[in-house]
Amino acid sequence: MDYETNNSTHLHPNYSRNPTPNSLSVQTGPSNSHNLMTNGTVEIPSNRVTVLRGHESEVFICAWNPTHDLLASGSGDSTARIWNLQGSREPEMILRHCIRRGDTQVPSNKDVTSLDWNPSGTQLATGSYDGYARIWSSDGNLASTLGQHKGPIFALKWNKKGNYILSAGVDRTTIIWDANSGHCEQQFAFHTAPALDVDWQSDITFASCSTDQKIYVCRLGEMRPVKTFHGHQNEVNAIKWDPQGRLLASCSDDMTLKIWAMTKETPVHNLQAHNKEIYTIKWSPTGPGTMNPNATLLLA
């Protein structure tokens, strides 16, 4: 999965290296990691796995609905799908990503590489290589098409309030969208290369990262970044705020993981254990600001 800009071809780091087959595997039933451990690895018995088949190309991303037993997936077949794991209705809803050509809607034939449920689980936002973000109901109906980006969309996130959607694209910009009207609230054009990831710190403040090696913290209504982090020596692939929004983790093709604080100009931690590029990071749901405040905050 590649994109073209300035007559050169690039690969998005999070999706292009190792795409998964055109099926999904979901663990079902109770898990017991102690019993499943074998030689330091976790083995899931086949009777605890449900394989979801239907996509006709690579599956790049999936996300659980926060309130219902639904799983969304995005694929290179230019569709997203909503899978119902309870069996009370159709097991699969197909969200076809189409573009208008004349008076007709035709398949975009572009990868769906980003998706995110709103906090109430009633709507799904998807981002595609056709340059459009879309909002769907949990029943699979298209509610809005958001068309401000000029090229592939790499990342897309709802804020916690559920009134704004944030997107990042190859056009070097990030956009805050009004989720109700579908209008662009503000477009941020600070990066000098494709924006790869975004993450909300609050309902109006977010961070973005790019192949330009920089991280910007921006706020709705502000015309300049409120903070710039510059320390990575290669593309910054992913970023994630901790549960309190005080620390920002970033990972890069420079094989480092860095942790930043808004009160510091340099990383508070510079973690160097990997010997290859790092594509994804995740904070544990523990520590202050979580349901387990007395547990240790971890980063994977």
Over residues 134-148, the mean pLDDT reads 93
Residue 100 binned pLDDT confidence (cut-offs 50, 70, 90)? confident
Question: Is a pLDDT exceeding 50 seen at residue 35?
Answer: no
Q: Which residue, chain included where needed, has tokens 């000029």?
A: 150
With CA atoms as reference, report the closest residue to 226 among 177, 190, 274.
Answer: 190
With CA atoms as reference, report the closest residue to 154 among 206, 209, 105.
Answer: 209
pLDDT score recorded for residue 4:
45
pLDDT score recorded for residue 23:
56
With CA atoms as reference, report the closest residue to 279 among 248, 239, 242, 246.
Answer: 239
Reduce the DSSP state of residue 174 to 3 states and report it.
strand
DSSP 20: B
Whole-Å CA distances, 293 to 133, 202, 240, 286, 288? 35, 19, 19, 6, 4
Question: Is 72:81 a contact under the CB 8 Å cutoff?
Answer: yes
Cα separation of 99 and 147, whole Å? 11
pTM for this predicted structure: 0.85
H or E element that contains 259: strand 257-261
Question: pLDDT per residue over 246-284, tens digit each?
Answer: 999 999 999 999 999 999 999 999 999 999 999 999 999
Residue 128 binned pLDDT confidence (cut-offs 50, 70, 90)? very high
Residue 14 binned pLDDT confidence (cut-offs 50, 70, 90)? low
Reduce the DSSP state of residue 33 to 3 states and report it.
helix
pLDDT score recorded for residue 238:
98
Reduce the DSSP state of residue 181 to 3 states and report it.
coil
Residue 61 neighbours by CB under 8 Å, 6+ apart: 15, 73, 74, 112, 113, 114, 115
With CA atoms as reference, report the closest residue to 92 among 119, 67, 72.
Answer: 72
Q: Return the exposure string of 198-209: e unless at least 16 CB atoms fall within 10 Å of the residue's CB, then b.
A: bbbbeebbbbbb
The conformational region for residue 47 under phi > 0 = left, psi -120 to 50 = alpha, else beta, is alpha
Question: Is a pLDDT exceeding 50 seen at residue 88?
Answer: yes
pLDDT score recorded for residue 212:
98
pLDDT score recorded for residue 104:
79
pLDDT score recorded for residue 67:
95
Burial of 102 (C-beta count, 10 Å sphere; 0-12/13-18/19+) = exposed
Please, where are the H alpha helices in 30-168?
A: 33-36
Please give the residue that has the higher pLDDT: either 14 or 112. Answer: 112
Question: pLDDT per residue over 173-207, tens digit each?
Answer: 999 999 999 999 999 999 999 999 999 999 999 99
What is the amino acid identity at position 160? K
Question: Is a pLDDT exceeding 70 seen at residue 11?
Answer: no
pLDDT score recorded for residue 40:
60
Tokens of 190: 């600070």
Question: Is a pLDDT exceeding 70 seen at residue 71?
Answer: yes
pLDDT score recorded for residue 222:
97
Torsion of CA 207, 236, 196, 58, to 10 degrees: -130
Residue 5 binned pLDDT confidence (cut-offs 50, 70, 90)? very low
Mean pLDDT rounded to a whole number for the chain: 88
H or E element that contains 14: helix 13-16
**Residues 59, 65, 70: CA angle, nearest 5 degrees:** 70
DSSP 296: P
Question: Is a pLDDT exceeding 80 seen at residue 17?
Answer: no
